[in-house]
C-alpha cells in the first residue's frame, strides 16, 4: 500500500474514483465481493476496450482501492477492502466533534442485500 501522507493518499484515492468508468468499475468489484472478476469480464461489462480498462484498473490499484493477482494468462481484480476501510476511516476520523451519535447510524445507511 502507498505510504504517502494520509491526506495526500486520500486525495489520490478520491481522484482515482473521480472518473465515471473507474467509479463504475470500483462499485462493480465491491459488488463482486472477495472473488472479484477477471479483467476481460470487467471490460466487457463496462463496455470499455481492454487496453483502456487496463489503464483504469491500474489507476485504481495504484490508489490502493483495487488489488490484482495473475492466474496464468488472466489477471483477477478484487476490491481492496483494507484500502476502502483506510479511505473511509480517513474521511470519518474527525467526525462529530465529540458527539458520536451524529455518525452512529452511518453503517446502517449501507444496504447489503443477501445473495
| Residue 35 or 99, more confident | 35
pTM for this prediction:
0.84
Strand runs (DSSP E) across the chain, as ranges? 37-38, 66-71, 74-79
Q: Would you give the DSSP letter of residue 97? A: G
Q: pLDDT, tens digit, for every residue of 54-85?
A: 999 999 999 999 999 998 999 999 999 999 99
Greater confidence (1 vs 46) lies with: 46
End-to-end CA distance of the chain: 30
Q: Which domains does the chain have, with CATH numbers?
A: 6-109 (1.10.10.10)
Q: Report whether 32 contacts 79 (CB < 8 A).
A: yes
In angstroms, the CA 87 to CA 7 distance is: 10
Look at residues 52, 50, 60, 54 and name the one whose alpha carbon lies nearest to residue 15.
Answer: 60
User: pLDDT tens for residues 14-28?
Assistant: 999 999 999 999 999
Amino acid at each position: 500500500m502507498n505510504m504517502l501522507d494520509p491526506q495526500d493518499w486520500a486525495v489520490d484515492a478520491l481522484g482515482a474514483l473521480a472518473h465515471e468508468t473507474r467509479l463504475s468499475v470500483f462499485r462493480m468489484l465491491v459488488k463482486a465481493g472477495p472473488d472479484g472478476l477477471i479483467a476481460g469480464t470487467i471490460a466487457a461489462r463496462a463496455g470499455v476496450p481492454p487496453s483502456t480498462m487496463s489503464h483504469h484498473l491500474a489507476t485504481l490499484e495504484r490508489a490502493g482501492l483495487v488489488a490484482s493477482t495473475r492466474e496464468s494468462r488472466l489477471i483477477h481484480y478484487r476490491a481492496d477492502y483494507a484500502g476502502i476501510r483506510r479511505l473511509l476511516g480517513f474521511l470519518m476520523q474527525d467526525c462529530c466533534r465529540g458527539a458520536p451519535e451524529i455518525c452512529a447510524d452511518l453503517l446502517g445507511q449501507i444496504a447489503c442485500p443477501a445473495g
